[in-house]
């Protein structure tokens, strides 16, 4: 008999209001939907705690980061209370990382839910069912896993085996792709994949791509950068997870992207902070990015075991609210200062401004007036725009 399948994406406190933001699309649920449809079942996707008008035979609830587990468990409890007889399966990042944890297993037993660790082989073979969501892009994987073992990353724990694909052209259905690969350039077939994309047309138009993760710049060659450009990749991001002293290598990688045709302000540098490098060192890295006129994608470190994150950029907070890497001198004040500096600097880079001010940001200063302002001595600018801030400052 056809089964009714309920797929649930909990309402996580994502920084974006969009439930279908390209960074948070519930691809595993879409694959599960596709699989169940293929065997005659009826899948139904909901967000958060929703009153559905049928009794599902099976429910699948996905998790995301470990520090959003409260929202996840609240959702599980809601559906368990509502549907005491349904089979509830749980999976996703948090579930995979906590799978061996005895408290976690206890909770699963109490709530009678079945946890899954990592990607499921059966569902992985099914293409995501985009009919359940309304987006104009397609998420795609040209590989799973990662060969590297960065200490702050959970990928190599959840997907320990690096599995590359030789080709993806037959999977592409839309003109916009977002690669969810963790290390796209590590794929031994990457040149072939990029050549496919360069030639591919969907509805007679080219296919544009971007990568959710930063590129592993150590693998970047001019040939690959040129192929990325020719295959219509946009907004390339390079990871700079190392010390400031490595800036020469990053400069070289940016130069390679530049020679291949990418403009500096469309390039972005992925940086982890609230981590083993001090605020002062991160500020040196930030200022280097300003010299290069590239943007920064900052990533606030939370340990893989972190169970909550109530960070609020507008409040003074402590480590009772969110994770603060105090060992290396980070504090709530420094975390928020670094975040604020990155934000203001990115605005300067995007707009070719030499300094930031809230009026400039809100476009309350006409361009001609900015050109007059910028020629004034600094104290004059400060008199007119008291919150003016220059990226070379801390
Ligand atoms: S290279 Fe990226 S995906 Fe791979 S382990 Fe490091 S951070 Fe994780």
- In this prediction, residue 384 carries a pLDDT of 94
Shared domain check, 327 and 312: yes
CA distances (Å), origin 188, targets 184, 341, 370: 9, 38, 49
More confident residue, 15 or 90: 90
| Residue 258 scores a pLDDT above 90 | yes
pLDDT tens, residue by residue, 135-153: 899 999 999 999 888 888 8
65 pLDDT band, cuts 50/70/90, is: very high
36-40, 227-231, 361-365: which has the minimum mean pLDDT? 361-365
Q: Which atom of ligand 1 is nearest to the CA of 154?
A: 8
**pTM, rounded to two decimals:** 0.90
Shared domain check, 208 and 219: yes
CB 265 within 8 A of CB 353: no
Q: Which atom of ligand 1 is nearest to the CA of 147?
A: 4
Shared domain check, 212 and 321: yes
- Rounded Cα–Cα distance for residues 131 and 10 (Å): 19
| Residue 23 scores a pLDDT above 90 | no
If one residue of 151, 181, 216, 269 were mutated to test the ligand 1 pocket, choosing by the most ligand atoms within 8 A of its CB, it would be 216
**Domain assignment of residue 178, given as a range:** 135-350
CA distances (Å), origin 205, targets 141, 176, 196, 198, 386: 21, 10, 14, 11, 49
- Rounded Cα–Cα distance for residues 14 and 267 (Å): 24
Q: Give 101's Cβ-side CA count (13 Å radius).
A: 15
Domain presence at residue 244: yes
Calculate mean pLDDT across residues 91-112.
Answer: 96
| Residue 22 scores a pLDDT above 80 | no
Shared domain check, 16 and 139: no
Domain presence at residue 129: no
Shared domain check, 157 and 66: no
Q: State the distance from the centre of ligand 1 to the C-alpha of 301, rounded, in angstroms.
A: 14
Shared domain check, 292 and 186: yes
Residue for token digits 């349904």? Answer: 86
Q: State the distance from the centre of ligand 1 to the C-alpha of 361, rounded, in angstroms.
A: 34
Q: Residue 355: in which H helix or E strand, if any?
A: none
Domain presence at residue 127: no
Question: 33-36 long-range contacts, Cβ below 8 Å, gap at least 24?
Answer: 33/5, 33/7, 33/128, 33/129, 33/132, 34/126, 34/127, 34/128, 34/129, 35/122, 35/123, 35/125, 35/126, 36/3, 36/5
Nearest residue to 177 via CA among 155, 135, 207? 207
Shared domain check, 305 and 163: yes
Domain presence at residue 130: no
Q: Which residues have any ligand 1 atom within 6 Å of their CB?
A: 146, 148-150, 153, 155-156, 182-183, 216
- In this prediction, residue 382 carries a pLDDT of 94
- Rounded Cα–Cα distance for residues 259 and 355 (Å): 28
CA distances (Å), origin 214, targets 20, 114, 179, 271, 327: 21, 33, 11, 9, 27
The count of structural domains within the chain is: 3
Look up residue 75 and give its two tokens. Answer: 């959702």
Domain presence at residue 128: no
Nearest CA residue ID for atom 6, ligand 1: 150
If one residue of 141, 154, 155, 220 were mutated to test the ligand 1 pocket, choosing by the most ligand atoms within 8 A of its CB, it would be 155
Shared domain check, 220 and 112: no
């Amino acid at each position: 008999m056809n089964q009714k399948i309920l797929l649930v994406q909990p309402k996580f406190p994502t920084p974006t209001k969009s439930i279908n933001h390209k960074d948070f699309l519930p691809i595993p649920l879409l694959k599960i939907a596709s699989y169940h449809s293929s065997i005659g079942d009826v899948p139904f996707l909901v967000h958060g705690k929703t009153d559905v008008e049928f009794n599902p035979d099976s429910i699948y609830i996905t998790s995301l980061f470990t520090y959003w587990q409260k929202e996840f468990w609240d959702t599980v409890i809601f559906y368990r209370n509502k549907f005491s007889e349904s089979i509830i399966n749980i999976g996703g990042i948090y579930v995979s990382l906590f799978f061996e944890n005895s408290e976690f297993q206890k909770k699963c037993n109490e709530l009678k839910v079945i946890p899954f660790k990592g990607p499921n082989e059966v569902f992985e073979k099914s293409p995501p069912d985009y009919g359940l969501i309304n987006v104009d892009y397609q998420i795609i994987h040209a590989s799973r896993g990662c060969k590297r073992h960065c200490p702050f990353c959970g990928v190599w724990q959840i997907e320990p085996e690096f599995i590359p694909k030789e080709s993806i052209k037959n999977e592409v259905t839309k003109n916009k792709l977002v690669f969810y690969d963790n290390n796209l350039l590590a794929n031994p077939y990457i040149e072939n994949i990029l050549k496919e994309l360069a030639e591919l047309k969907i509805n007679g138009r080219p296919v544009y791509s971007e990568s959710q993760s930063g590129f592993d710049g150590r693998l970047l060659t001019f040939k690959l950068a040129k192929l990325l450009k020719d295959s219509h990749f946009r907004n390339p991001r390079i990871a700079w997870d190392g010390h400031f002293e490595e800036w020469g290598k990053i400069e070289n990688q940016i130069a390679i992207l530049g020679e291949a045709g990418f403009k500096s302000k469309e390039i972005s540098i992925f940086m982890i902070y609230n981590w083993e490098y001090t605020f002062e060192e991160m500020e040196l890295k930030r200022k280097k990015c300003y010299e290069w006129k590239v943007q920064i994608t900052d990533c606030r470190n939370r340990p893989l075991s972190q169970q909550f994150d109530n960070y609020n950029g507008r409040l003074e907070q402590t480590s009772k609210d969110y994770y603060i890497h105090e060992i290396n001198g980070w504090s709530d004040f420094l975390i928020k200062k670094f975040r604020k500096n990155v934000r203001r600097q990115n605005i300067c880079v995007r707009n070719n401004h030499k300094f930031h001010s809230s009026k400039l940001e809100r476009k309350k200063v006409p361009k001609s007036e900015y050109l007059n302002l910028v020629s004034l001595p600094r104290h004059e600018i400060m008199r007119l725009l008291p919150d003016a801030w220059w990226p070379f400052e801390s």
